[in-house]
Structure 1
Amino acid sequence: MANFEWYRSFVSIYKHSSVTEAAKTRIMTQPAMSQHLASLEAEVGEPLFTRTARKMIPTERGKELYTQLAPLVESLEEATLSFRAAASPTLPIVKIATAPEIFRERITPVLRDFHMRIYASYGVASHIFDLLIEDKVDLIVTSQKFTVPGVEYVHYLEEEFVVVSPYDFIEPEIESPKQLEEWLAAQPWLSYGLELPIIRRFWRENFQRRPQMKPEHILPDLHIILSAIEQGAGVSLLPTYMLSNALQGNKVKIICKSLKVTNDLYLAYQMKNRNMPNVRMMVEALKIPEN
């Protein structure tokens, strides 16, 4: 008869594609983990993985068995965590990565409502996606959907970006779209990156062409860009949700109010982890309605 620990080891090997990494996760020796897998394969009567030099590749039978076992194993582990939580102050750990401004503006205000311990990492979309693929984080909040198999995206929220300038900035009265574009392009722009992220889309959607300008400064943090605008360094596109204090304090203002662009944010996680209690808990926690 199969042992429950064999199932736990099998699910762990499947998730990590490695006996060594699975053993580290379960705090076991590699030989013990290999023995669990060998015992389960003997019970099933056929191989569950194809061994290669770099990773363990599940067979069709292995995929079928994982689909059946993973929810059951994770439910039992979740129940075990619940029992432990009742007797211990230790909370489950969730590793999340996103851009610093998203964490500060969208997650920090509701952090006290999370019944879990958060380990946060920050970076641009490509960097945090690599962290997800390498199993260094459980969940990311990203504006880019990478076409990589095994990753699931859930829509999180829609950002609205507007043109922000210093408060004492003088905006001329311009009616012609062409003249408005030329005037905007001539301003000192602050950008998140050399490739003009979000600015390019703003230009395409509002002027039907690529922006013809070079940014004055490259500042890869939207809060730093906002601070620079407050000091008169230039103009930029910023999400409305981070402007409240600066607008109320007359530190900046929104110009060209008829022009804006939206941007979708997604929660992303590896599909093999979709039933992990910590991932499910975090996704649910981030569904808190906006004020």
Structure 2
Amino acid sequence: MANFEWYRSFISIYKHSSVSEAAKTRIMTQPAMSQHLASLEAEVGEPLFTRTSRKMVPTERGKELYSQLVPLIESLEETTLNLKAVSSPTLPIIKIGSAYEFFREKIAPSLGDFNMRVNAYYGFASYILELLTEEKVDIIVTSQKYSAPGIEYVHYVEEEFVIVAPYDFDIPDFDNPKQLEAWLCSQAWLSYGLELPIIRRFWRKNFQKRPQMKPQHVLPDLHIILSAIEHGAGISLLPTYMLANALQTNKVKIICEPYIVTNDLYIAVKTKNRNLPNVKMMIEALKKII
């Protein structure tokens, strides 16, 4: 009789096309994973994969078995996790990682609507991915899709960045994009980092080249950049979601429209945890605040 763990190992190998990657995801040794597959193939009576030098290719019988197993396994796991959640007398805890600015502007105002307790962690994309990999957080909102075993990404939202200047900033007229680009290079820029992350992308999209300038100030906090712009320190690229109040009170203005750049954000979770009730609840809550 087939062992339930053989099925879980088979599904993991199917998803990753690799015994070694599947073993990492399930925190098993490669020989143990291979033994699970061999035992299941013996039970089924025929091969489930064709072994090549680079990956495991499912046979027709393997594809058929996968399509039959996945809904059953996921339903069973979800039922078990829901039973555990119902038995808990307190609200579930969710640990989420994101950029500080995004959490402050988009998530924090909706915390009262979440039927859960939130522990937040802030940092750059690489840092919060490390937290997710080490299971120190349950879910992250990130702008980078790093290749990591056992991590799933789902597109969440598209940020729009615009050029923001002090409200009384004077802008000359330009005959062509080349004049505009030269003028922009001559301005005092405030940047999130020395490498000009979003500024470089803006230049590539709108002028098909790298920006030929150095930032006047490097301030790794978008809210501090916005405050500096309000007080006349220079111009920068900022996401539109954090500008409503400053625009309404005439502290800043958007210039050089329609020159913009977009940035994709993703929700990422560990594959093995995607059916946890608190993770699914948080994903649904995040979708409501877009």
Tell me whether the two structures share a fold, i.e. TM-score over 0.5: yes
Q: Do the aligned partners of residues 263 and 108 (structure 1) sit closer, same or farther apart at CA in structure 2, a change above 3 Å counting?
A: same
CA distance, structure 2, for counterparts of residue 288 and residue 50 of structure 1:
35
- 1:166-188 CA distance string (max 9 Å, x none): 11111111122111101101111
Partner Cα distance (1:98, 1:255) in 2? 28
Instruction: Tell me, yes or no, if structure 1 residue 81 matches structure 2 residue 100.
Output: no
Partner SS state of residue 59, structure 1: helix
C-alpha separation in 2, matches of 1:133 and 1:193? 25
* CA distance in 2: counterparts of 1:154 and 1:69, whole angstroms: 21
Distance in 1 separating the partners of 2:276 and 2:35: 22
TM-score, scaled to structure 1: 0.76
What CA distance in whole angstroms lies between the structure 1 residues aligned with 2:155 and 2:109? 20
Match of 2:28 among 46, 56, 68: 56
Q: Which residue is equivalent to 2:252?
A: 252
TM-score by length of 2: 0.76
1:148 maps to a residue whose letter is: A
In the alignment, which residue of structure 2 is the partner of 1:140?
Answer: 140
Q: Does structure 2 conserve the Cα–Cα contact (< 8 Å) formed by 1:158 and 1:264?
A: yes
Q: Which runs of 5+ in 2 are unaligned?
A: 9-21, 41-68
- Aligned pairs (5 A) from 1:152-171: 152-171=152-171
**Structure 1 residue 150 displacement after superposition:** 1.8
Given that residues 74 and 275 in structure 1 are in contact (C-alpha distance below 8 angstroms), is that contact kept between their aligned partners in structure 2?
Answer: yes
Give the letter aligned to residue 101 of structure 2. Answer: E
- Aligned counterparts of 1:186 and 1:257: Cα–Cα separation in 2: 18
Q: Tell me if the contact between 2:133 and 2:270 (Cα under 8 Å) persists in the aligned partners.
A: yes
Instruction: Decide whether aligned partners of structure 1 residues 251 and 62 sit closer, same or farther in structure 2, where only a CA change above 3 A counts.
Output: farther
Aligned residue pairs total 242
Q: How far does residue 115 in structure 1 lie from its aligned partner after superposition?
A: 0.5
Give, in whole Å, the separation in 1 of the partners of 2:164 and 2:237: 6
Counterpart contact for 2:107–2:289, Cα < 8 Å: no
Task: Quote the Cα distance in structure 1 between the aligned partners of 2:23 and 2:171.
Answer: 66
Deviation at 1:264, TM superposition (A): 0.9
- The answer to whether structure 1 residue 285 and structure 2 residue 285 are counterparts is yes
Q: Is the 8 A contact 1:71 1:275 kept in 2?
A: no
1:289/1:120 Cα in 2 relative to 1: closer, same or farther (>3 Å)?
closer
1:201 partnered with 2:201: yes
- Aligned AA for 2:33? T
- Listed as ranges, the gaps of 5+ residues in structure 1 are 1-6, 12-48
* RMSD, aligned CA: 2.9
Q: From the superposition, tell whether residues 103 and 62 of structure 1 become closer, same or farther in structure 2 (CA, over 3 Å).
A: farther
